Structure 1
């Protein structure tokens, strides 16, 4: 992971620390899975972030990886900074957990700031 990506991810985690509920930007965020054949067998999702406002904005997103019972097994944070209106970013959230048992990903929080 590049230093810039790591810095953005830490900034996202910091931004989400005091957010109650799901945040103000869940409608601007969706997930797309990547085939495990492209990720060395790891569960990875593309976090699709689109700035739907008419001003530049930054985004912080928390992705939870859940087991079959819905228990959070791992959490990852990603961010996108200074997106122009209508601009899109697609950071990756990658689980470090083994492929078995299978996990699913969901957007737990998304905050525009």
Structure 2
């Protein structure tokens, strides 16, 4: 072996440990990359998955039940307000009618106390119903009294309100005073009973005096 060849062999021997170290580092790097690749491709390693955060129960305040209770309370308040409004409307309607006819109605009731049978003026009286939308929900009957005689006269009329069985549950008296010949009066007979059961008005007596 020549001196040049011997010199190259010695240099190669000095660098061999360095090459070994580099090879080991490279192998470790490949191993790490391989492990990372296995994780990404769904290998045996446990994937890094973010766990859902549990709800903070301390923040629960029962909002839904409270909202439901509030809605129910609001519905009850609206129903109560509607009932009060209807009652007020009925009272207002009845008061406006009574202000004009109360004296005549009392006179009619007093007059009919002494009348037997149906009276002498049944043919002078007719009845028609009045829409509840105009009476605040009350059952009201328009009693049309026509003076068919040739002289001035007063009238007393009795209206019974009967239930479906035919039983009289309420009686009203209406009248007209000093009605001229051929003229008409149209007092109202108003029931104060609840809408149910449905009542039927019945002309019972009519007296001309």
Q: Same fold (TM over 0.5)?
A: yes
Q: TM-score, normalised by structure 2?
A: 0.53
Count of residue correspondences: 112
Q: State yes or no: 1:78 paired with 2:203.
A: no
Q: Which has the larger radius of gyration?
A: 2
Question: Tell me, what secondary structure is at the counterpart of 1:6?
Answer: helix
Give 1:31 deviation, angstroms: 0.4
Q: Which residue of 2 aligns with 1:66?
A: 162
- Structure 1: stretches of 5+ with no match in the other structure: none
What is the aligned-residue RMSD (CA, Å)?
0.7
Whole-angstrom distance in 2 between the partners of 1:42 and 1:5: 17
Aligned match of 1:97 in 169, 193, 199? 193
Question: Tell me, what secondary structure is at the counterpart of 2:114?
Answer: coil
Whole-angstrom distance in 2 between the partners of 1:96 and 1:47: 17
- Structure 2: stretches of 5+ with no match in the other structure: 1-97
Judging by fraction of residues, say which structure has more strand.
1
Q: TM-score, normalised by structure 1?
A: 0.97
Whole-angstrom distance in 2 between the partners of 1:72 and 1:101: 12
For CA contacts below 8 A with separation 6 or more, give which structure has more relative contact order: 1
Judging by fraction of residues, say which structure has more helix.
2
